[in-house]
Homo-oligomer: A and B are copies of this chain.
Amino acid sequence: MLTLVCDDQPGIVHAISGAIVQAEGNITESQQFSSEDTGRFFMRLQVESSTDREHFEQALRPVTERYDMTWALDVVGRPLRTLVLVSKAGHCLNDLLFRQRAGQLPVEIPLVMSNHPDLGELAAFYGVPFESAPVTDASQKAAFERRILEVVEQHDIELVVLARYMQILSPELCDALEGRAINIHHSFLPGFKGANPYRQAHARGVKLIGATAHFVTSDLDEGPIIEQNVVRVDHSQSPAELISIGQDEESRTLTQAVRWFAEHRVLLDRHRTIIFK
Protein backbone atom coordinates (compact mmCIF):
# COMPACT_ATOMS: atom_id res chain seq x y z
CA MET A 1 0.00 0.00 0.00
CA LEU A 2 1.57 3.25 -1.15
CA THR A 3 0.14 6.72 -0.61
CA LEU A 4 1.81 9.84 -1.88
CA VAL A 5 1.18 13.55 -2.11
CA CYS A 6 3.08 16.18 -4.10
CA ASP A 7 2.55 19.26 -6.24
CA ASP A 8 0.64 18.39 -9.36
CA GLN A 9 2.67 18.25 -12.59
CA PRO A 10 2.85 16.13 -15.75
CA GLY A 11 4.56 12.74 -15.68
CA ILE A 12 4.01 11.72 -12.06
CA VAL A 13 1.98 8.60 -12.86
CA HIS A 14 4.48 7.46 -15.46
CA ALA A 15 7.42 8.02 -13.12
CA ILE A 16 5.84 6.22 -10.20
CA SER A 17 4.55 3.31 -12.30
CA GLY A 18 8.05 3.03 -13.80
CA ALA A 19 9.59 2.74 -10.36
CA ILE A 20 7.04 0.06 -9.48
CA VAL A 21 7.78 -1.91 -12.66
CA GLN A 22 11.46 -1.68 -11.79
CA ALA A 23 10.70 -3.06 -8.31
CA GLU A 24 8.88 -5.95 -9.99
CA GLY A 25 5.58 -4.71 -8.62
CA ASN A 26 2.11 -4.99 -10.14
CA ILE A 27 -0.46 -2.27 -9.44
CA THR A 28 -3.73 -3.93 -8.39
CA GLU A 29 -5.59 -0.83 -7.29
CA SER A 30 -4.93 2.83 -8.00
CA GLN A 31 -6.68 6.07 -7.20
CA GLN A 32 -5.56 9.61 -7.80
CA PHE A 33 -6.85 13.12 -7.45
CA SER A 34 -5.60 16.54 -8.49
CA SER A 35 -6.88 19.29 -6.24
CA GLU A 36 -7.82 22.47 -8.03
CA ASP A 37 -7.99 24.25 -4.69
CA THR A 38 -4.42 23.61 -3.66
CA GLY A 39 -2.65 22.36 -6.80
CA ARG A 40 -1.67 19.18 -4.97
CA PHE A 41 -1.66 15.68 -6.42
CA PHE A 42 -2.79 12.69 -4.33
CA MET A 43 -2.32 9.04 -5.11
CA ARG A 44 -3.04 5.71 -3.42
CA LEU A 45 -1.68 2.52 -4.93
CA GLN A 46 -2.01 -1.10 -3.97
CA VAL A 47 0.92 -3.08 -5.30
CA GLU A 48 1.81 -6.78 -5.35
CA SER A 49 5.53 -7.33 -5.28
CA SER A 50 7.95 -10.13 -4.62
CA THR A 51 10.65 -7.63 -3.62
CA ASP A 52 11.31 -6.83 0.04
CA ARG A 53 10.52 -3.45 1.50
CA GLU A 54 14.05 -2.13 1.36
CA HIS A 55 14.48 -2.72 -2.37
CA PHE A 56 11.03 -1.36 -3.02
CA GLU A 57 11.83 1.86 -1.20
CA GLN A 58 15.12 2.10 -3.03
CA ALA A 59 13.34 1.88 -6.37
CA LEU A 60 10.88 4.57 -5.32
CA ARG A 61 13.38 7.01 -3.84
CA PRO A 62 14.55 8.73 -7.05
CA VAL A 63 10.94 9.46 -7.97
CA THR A 64 9.78 10.59 -4.54
CA GLU A 65 12.81 12.90 -4.33
CA ARG A 66 12.44 14.33 -7.80
CA TYR A 67 8.81 15.28 -7.18
CA ASP A 68 9.34 16.18 -3.50
CA MET A 69 6.66 13.72 -2.44
CA THR A 70 5.27 13.07 0.97
CA TRP A 71 4.74 9.33 0.95
CA ALA A 72 3.97 6.32 3.08
CA LEU A 73 4.40 2.63 2.43
CA ASP A 74 2.56 0.01 4.40
CA VAL A 75 1.63 -3.65 4.22
CA VAL A 76 -2.04 -4.13 3.24
CA GLY A 77 -4.15 -5.19 6.20
CA ARG A 78 -1.55 -4.45 8.89
CA PRO A 79 -3.55 -3.45 11.99
CA LEU A 80 -3.03 0.16 13.01
CA ARG A 81 -2.02 0.76 16.63
CA THR A 82 -4.98 2.67 17.99
CA LEU A 83 -5.72 4.31 21.33
CA VAL A 84 -9.41 4.79 22.14
CA LEU A 85 -10.65 7.50 24.52
CA VAL A 86 -14.13 7.17 26.02
CA SER A 87 -16.34 8.56 28.77
CA LYS A 88 -19.57 6.85 29.79
CA ALA A 89 -21.44 6.07 26.56
CA GLY A 90 -20.39 2.67 25.24
CA HIS A 91 -22.08 2.39 21.82
CA CYS A 92 -19.10 3.59 19.78
CA LEU A 93 -16.57 1.57 21.79
CA ASN A 94 -18.75 -1.54 21.54
CA ASP A 95 -18.93 -1.16 17.78
CA LEU A 96 -15.18 -0.65 17.38
CA LEU A 97 -14.28 -3.59 19.62
CA PHE A 98 -16.87 -5.94 18.13
CA ARG A 99 -15.73 -5.23 14.58
CA GLN A 100 -12.07 -5.34 15.49
CA ARG A 101 -12.55 -8.81 16.94
CA ALA A 102 -14.70 -9.91 13.99
CA GLY A 103 -11.77 -9.07 11.72
CA GLN A 104 -13.64 -6.22 10.02
CA LEU A 105 -11.50 -3.37 11.26
CA PRO A 106 -7.72 -3.41 10.76
CA VAL A 107 -6.73 -1.90 14.10
CA GLU A 108 -5.16 -3.22 17.26
CA ILE A 109 -6.07 -1.47 20.48
CA PRO A 110 -3.44 -1.75 23.19
CA LEU A 111 -5.43 0.43 25.60
CA VAL A 112 -8.74 2.18 26.21
CA MET A 113 -8.53 5.31 28.37
CA SER A 114 -11.45 7.01 30.06
CA ASN A 115 -12.36 9.75 32.49
CA HIS A 116 -14.93 7.36 34.02
CA PRO A 117 -14.58 3.73 35.15
CA ASP A 118 -17.94 2.63 33.64
CA LEU A 119 -16.75 1.03 30.43
CA GLY A 120 -13.99 -1.03 32.00
CA GLU A 121 -16.14 -4.12 31.98
CA LEU A 122 -16.87 -3.81 28.24
CA ALA A 123 -13.17 -3.42 27.44
CA ALA A 124 -12.37 -6.41 29.66
CA PHE A 125 -14.87 -8.58 27.77
CA TYR A 126 -12.93 -7.90 24.59
CA GLY A 127 -9.65 -8.46 26.43
CA VAL A 128 -8.47 -4.88 25.99
CA PRO A 129 -6.61 -3.12 28.87
CA PHE A 130 -8.51 -0.19 30.34
CA GLU A 131 -7.32 2.77 32.34
CA SER A 132 -9.46 5.44 33.93
CA ALA A 133 -8.86 8.53 35.99
CA PRO A 134 -11.19 11.37 36.97
CA VAL A 135 -10.82 14.58 34.93
CA THR A 136 -12.72 17.12 36.96
CA ASP A 137 -10.20 19.92 37.43
CA ALA A 138 -7.36 21.51 35.51
CA SER A 139 -4.57 19.57 37.16
CA GLN A 140 -6.31 16.21 36.65
CA LYS A 141 -6.88 17.17 33.04
CA ALA A 142 -3.23 18.07 32.54
CA ALA A 143 -2.19 14.77 34.15
CA PHE A 144 -4.59 12.78 31.98
CA GLU A 145 -3.33 14.47 28.83
CA ARG A 146 0.29 13.83 29.80
CA ARG A 147 -0.65 10.18 30.26
CA ILE A 148 -2.24 10.14 26.79
CA LEU A 149 0.98 11.41 25.25
CA GLU A 150 2.98 8.89 27.24
CA VAL A 151 0.77 6.05 25.97
CA VAL A 152 1.04 7.35 22.42
CA GLU A 153 4.81 7.26 22.80
CA GLN A 154 5.09 3.91 24.61
CA HIS A 155 2.74 2.00 22.35
CA ASP A 156 3.81 3.72 19.16
CA ILE A 157 0.19 4.80 18.66
CA GLU A 158 -0.72 5.75 15.08
CA LEU A 159 -4.31 6.80 15.66
CA VAL A 160 -6.23 8.24 18.63
CA VAL A 161 -10.00 7.77 18.48
CA LEU A 162 -12.31 9.93 20.58
CA ALA A 163 -15.26 7.54 20.82
CA ARG A 164 -17.64 9.93 22.59
CA TYR A 165 -14.88 11.20 24.89
CA MET A 166 -16.72 14.08 26.51
CA GLN A 167 -13.73 16.30 27.25
CA ILE A 168 -12.27 19.07 25.14
CA LEU A 169 -8.61 18.42 24.41
CA SER A 170 -6.15 21.22 25.13
CA PRO A 171 -4.76 23.05 22.07
CA GLU A 172 -1.33 21.58 22.86
CA LEU A 173 -2.64 18.01 22.74
CA CYS A 174 -4.61 18.78 19.56
CA ASP A 175 -1.43 20.02 17.93
CA ALA A 176 0.58 17.03 19.15
CA LEU A 177 -1.97 14.63 17.64
CA GLU A 178 -2.63 16.61 14.46
CA GLY A 179 -3.75 14.45 11.57
CA ARG A 180 -3.93 11.31 13.69
CA ALA A 181 -6.83 11.94 16.10
CA ILE A 182 -10.44 11.35 15.01
CA ASN A 183 -13.50 12.57 16.90
CA ILE A 184 -17.17 11.72 16.44
CA HIS A 185 -19.47 14.71 16.78
CA HIS A 186 -23.09 13.88 17.44
CA SER A 187 -24.60 16.16 14.85
CA PHE A 188 -24.47 16.84 11.15
CA LEU A 189 -21.75 19.50 11.13
CA PRO A 190 -21.69 22.40 10.59
CA GLY A 191 -25.23 22.15 11.92
CA PHE A 192 -25.18 22.06 15.68
CA LYS A 193 -21.82 22.62 17.26
CA GLY A 194 -20.99 22.38 20.94
CA ALA A 195 -22.99 20.66 23.64
CA ASN A 196 -26.41 19.03 23.42
CA PRO A 197 -26.78 18.98 19.64
CA TYR A 198 -29.79 16.65 19.81
CA ARG A 199 -31.60 19.12 22.05
CA GLN A 200 -30.77 21.86 19.56
CA ALA A 201 -31.96 19.68 16.69
CA HIS A 202 -35.23 19.02 18.45
CA ALA A 203 -35.79 22.71 19.19
CA ARG A 204 -35.07 23.61 15.57
CA GLY A 205 -37.40 20.89 14.31
CA VAL A 206 -34.99 19.38 11.79
CA LYS A 207 -36.18 16.40 9.77
CA LEU A 208 -32.81 14.63 9.60
CA ILE A 209 -30.22 14.23 12.34
CA GLY A 210 -26.70 13.02 11.84
CA ALA A 211 -23.18 12.41 12.96
CA THR A 212 -19.82 13.67 11.75
CA ALA A 213 -16.42 12.03 12.11
CA HIS A 214 -13.64 14.60 11.78
CA PHE A 215 -10.00 15.16 12.57
CA VAL A 216 -9.41 16.80 15.91
CA THR A 217 -8.04 20.32 15.71
CA SER A 218 -7.75 23.04 18.33
CA ASP A 219 -10.63 24.78 16.55
CA LEU A 220 -13.47 22.80 18.19
CA ASP A 221 -15.75 20.88 15.80
CA GLU A 222 -14.05 22.57 12.83
CA GLY A 223 -11.52 19.89 11.90
CA PRO A 224 -11.51 18.32 8.43
CA ILE A 225 -14.57 16.10 7.96
CA ILE A 226 -13.97 12.43 7.17
CA GLU A 227 -17.48 10.97 7.09
CA GLN A 228 -21.08 11.96 7.77
CA ASN A 229 -24.38 10.14 7.95
CA VAL A 230 -27.95 11.18 8.62
CA VAL A 231 -31.18 9.49 9.59
CA ARG A 232 -34.75 10.71 9.24
CA VAL A 233 -36.66 11.84 12.33
CA ASP A 234 -40.02 13.50 12.85
CA HIS A 235 -41.91 15.82 15.15
CA SER A 236 -43.00 13.05 17.49
CA GLN A 237 -39.54 12.22 18.75
CA SER A 238 -38.27 13.71 22.00
CA PRO A 239 -34.67 14.81 22.50
CA ALA A 240 -34.10 11.53 24.40
CA GLU A 241 -35.32 9.54 21.42
CA LEU A 242 -33.15 11.58 19.06
CA ILE A 243 -30.15 10.68 21.21
CA SER A 244 -30.97 7.00 21.00
CA ILE A 245 -31.57 7.13 17.24
CA GLY A 246 -28.47 9.19 16.66
CA GLN A 247 -26.20 6.72 18.44
CA ASP A 248 -26.45 4.27 15.57
CA GLU A 249 -25.25 6.93 13.16
CA GLU A 250 -22.45 7.89 15.53
CA SER A 251 -21.19 4.31 15.77
CA ARG A 252 -21.26 3.54 12.11
CA THR A 253 -19.86 6.92 11.09
CA LEU A 254 -16.94 6.68 13.50
CA THR A 255 -16.20 3.06 12.63
CA GLN A 256 -16.24 3.91 8.92
CA ALA A 257 -13.84 6.82 9.46
CA VAL A 258 -11.49 4.63 11.51
CA ARG A 259 -11.59 1.90 8.85
CA TRP A 260 -10.76 4.32 6.05
CA PHE A 261 -7.96 5.88 8.07
CA ALA A 262 -6.52 2.47 8.95
CA GLU A 263 -6.61 1.52 5.28
CA HIS A 264 -4.72 4.71 4.37
CA ARG A 265 -7.67 6.01 2.40
CA VAL A 266 -7.80 9.42 4.09
CA LEU A 267 -5.45 12.15 2.89
CA LEU A 268 -5.48 15.81 3.87
CA ASP A 269 -5.87 18.58 1.30
CA ARG A 270 -5.46 21.57 3.65
CA HIS A 271 -8.86 21.75 5.45
CA ARG A 272 -10.58 19.10 3.34
CA THR A 273 -10.13 15.36 3.23
CA ILE A 274 -9.54 13.24 0.16
CA ILE A 275 -11.20 9.86 0.71
CA PHE A 276 -10.08 7.11 -1.67
CA LYS A 277 -12.91 4.62 -1.21
Complex formed: what's the CA distance from A273 to B236 in Å? 10
Q: Which A234-254 residues sit within 8 Å CB-CB of chain B?
A: 234-236, 238, 244, 247-248, 252
A30 touching B27, Cβ below 8 Å: no
Number of A interface residues in the complex (CB < 8 A): 63
Task: Judge if A210 is at the interface, Cβ distance under 8 Å.
Answer: yes
B228 touching A208, Cβ below 8 Å: yes
A271 touching B207, Cβ below 8 Å: no
Task: Judge if A275 is at the interface, Cβ distance under 8 Å.
Answer: yes
Q: Copies of this chain, how many?
A: 4
Residues of B within 8 A of A143 (CB): none
Complex formed: what's the CA distance from A11 to B226 in Å? 33
Residues of B within 8 A of A191 (CB): 188-191
A230 touching B227, Cβ below 8 Å: no
Q: Which A11-40 residues sit within 8 Å CB-CB of chain B?
A: 11, 13-14, 17-18, 20-21, 24-36
Complex formed: what's the CA distance from A269 to B102 in Å? 32
Residues of B within 8 A of A71 (CB): none
Known A102-B90, A235-B273; contact A32-B34, beta-carbon cutoff 8 A: no
Complex formed: what's the CA distance from A244 to B263 in Å? 16
A205 touching B225, Cβ below 8 Å: yes
Complex formed: what's the CA distance from A227 to B269 in Å? 30
Output the nearest chain B residue to A14 by Cβ-Cβ distance. Answer: B17
Known A30-B30, A208-B188; contact A98-B102, beta-carbon cutoff 8 A: no
Known A91-B102, A208-B188, A235-B274; contact A21-B11, beta-carbon cutoff 8 A: yes
Task: Judge if A55 is at the interface, Cβ distance under 8 Å.
Answer: no
Output the nearest chain B residue to A241 by Cβ-Cβ distance. Answer: B104
Complex formed: what's the CA distance from A203 to B35 in Å? 12
A80 to chain B, nearest CB (A): 18
Binding site for B on A (CB under 8 A): 9-11, 13-14, 17-18, 20-21, 24-36, 90-91, 94, 98, 102, 104, 125, 188-192, 203-208, 210, 224-230, 234-236, 238, 244, 247-248, 252, 269, 271-275, 277
Given A28-B34, A29-B33, A205-B271, output 18 extra A-B contacts at Cβ < 8 Å.
Answer: A10-B21, A10-B25, A10-B26, A13-B13, A14-B17, A14-B21, A29-B32, A36-B238, A104-B244, A190-B192, A190-B204, A203-B271, A204-B271, A206-B228, A208-B210, A234-B275, A235-B273, A248-B252
15 contacts across the A-B interface (CB closer than 8 A)? A13-B27, A13-B30, A14-B21, A33-B236, A90-B98, A104-B244, A104-B247, A125-B125, A188-B191, A190-B204, A203-B272, A207-B226, A207-B228, A235-B272, A235-B274
